[in-house]
Amino acid sequence: MAPRRPKGAGAFPKPVESPVPNTPDPAELYAALDLGTNSCRMLIAQPKGSQFHVVDSFSKSVQLGAGLERSGQLSRSSMGRTIQALRVCQQKLRRHKVRHMRLVATEACRRAGNARRFIDQVENETGLRLEIIQPEEEARLAVISCAPLVSTKTDQLLVVDIGGGSTELVWIDLTAVPRRERPRAIMRLHAGFHPAESPFPAAKVVDWISVPLGVATLRDQFRDVQDDTARFALMSWYFEESLAEFAPYKDEQVREGFQIIGTSGTVTTVAASHLGLKRYDRTKVDGLRMTSDQIDRVIRDYLTLGPEGRRKDPRIGQDRQTLIMSGSAILQALLRCWPTDRLSVADRGLREGLLYAQMSAHGVLEDAPY
């Protein structure tokens, strides 16, 4: 069973893609690297008021977890691809002379029997020391990155982070928090899901769960099923079964006052398809709200397209056409359990959470939510 932990508006930092006009002081730069099951992604940013400016970024599909389901080990070719990507990250960090950084690895490295050897190899070949973080911290960082998208009208919030190797769900009760303070209360969870006593109104984490199924691992489990529609249905029901011990699973949720925030490539791709974008545009996708019915229509269109049609779709592409269906299967399972008129799309996640946590700890953000 997946690791599980039982219960226990102002300005917010967010990535601003416009370049910083002058060369930033290296002492002011922060970096966050997220090495997941499928992708290696990094942001280098500079605090700017209560937000931050992205100075440089990197993203590459490395498929570190390829074959992990069968062997329990990271393969030599996967490690080779990943180290090549990490060399590029190391060059960027060196060029910008970044001093403050957190470089983390998630589910693939949590599960692989040879992960420690791989971490050592990365350090020997690139000089970068990766830190394997636990599911609770991964979930917490994803939650705080989404705080700006929390509506002041939200009483019950479900944050969902669909990764390559795992999916984190966090259910938060905001009814004890004054409406305009609700986004700030989410941001304060950077200190932990069950922080010490505070003079501020607290968001209550009802439950959270890390399901060891993400877009890559779920796809691999059903790779042998030939029929596209049957494979999709099996993936969706299989994922729903894994939610059985999540505390709010059996509770019928009233749509009014209920919000889901979804952070992942799956959710942003579905949003881009819903909008009919020819090319992905973060400014149109991040913060978009969709209903269960709108999402269902997009997923039905994906199934109608079939593998070849999805491959040719510019919003999906050849590399992601199988991953979008396993991600959509997860999304459909969630919306079967908790239909909503307000699913907010977040083009943000672990990296932004890592940056916020570092900057917050150093006190370099103005108007911090304390």
pLDDT in tens, 197-235: 667 778 999 999 999 999 999 999 999 999 999 999 999
pLDDT in tens, 135-145: 999 999 999 89
pLDDT at 6 over 60: no
pLDDT in tens, 340-363: 888 999 998 899 999 988 988 888
Work out the average pLDDT over 249-270: 84
Domains in the chain and their CATH numbers?
Answer: 30-133 (3.30.420.40), 136-351 (3.30.420.150)
- The identity of residue 309, as a single letter, is G
Looking at the chain, the number of H-run helices and the number of E-run strands are 13, 13
- Residue 251 pLDDT: 66
Residues 6+ apart with CB under 8 A from 164: 36, 37, 38, 39, 65, 107, 108, 214, 215, 216, 217, 323
- The overall average pLDDT reported for the chain is 88
Rounded alpha-carbon distances, angstroms, from residue 328 to 151, 155, 203, 219, 298? 24, 26, 29, 11, 9
pLDDT at 5 over 70: no
Matching residue, tokens 């090319």: 279
- The identity of residue 263, as a single letter, is T
Structure tokens at 106: 């998630």
Under 8 Å between Cβ of 78 and 99:
no
Work out the average pLDDT over 305-309: 93
Q: In what order do the strands lie in the sheet with 51-61?
A: 15-16, 51-61, 39-48, 30-35, 100-105, 131-132
Q: How far apart are CA 201 and CA 198, in angstroms?
A: 8
Under the banding of pLDDT at 50, 70 and 90, the label for residue 243 is very high
Under 8 Å between Cβ of 3 and 135:
yes
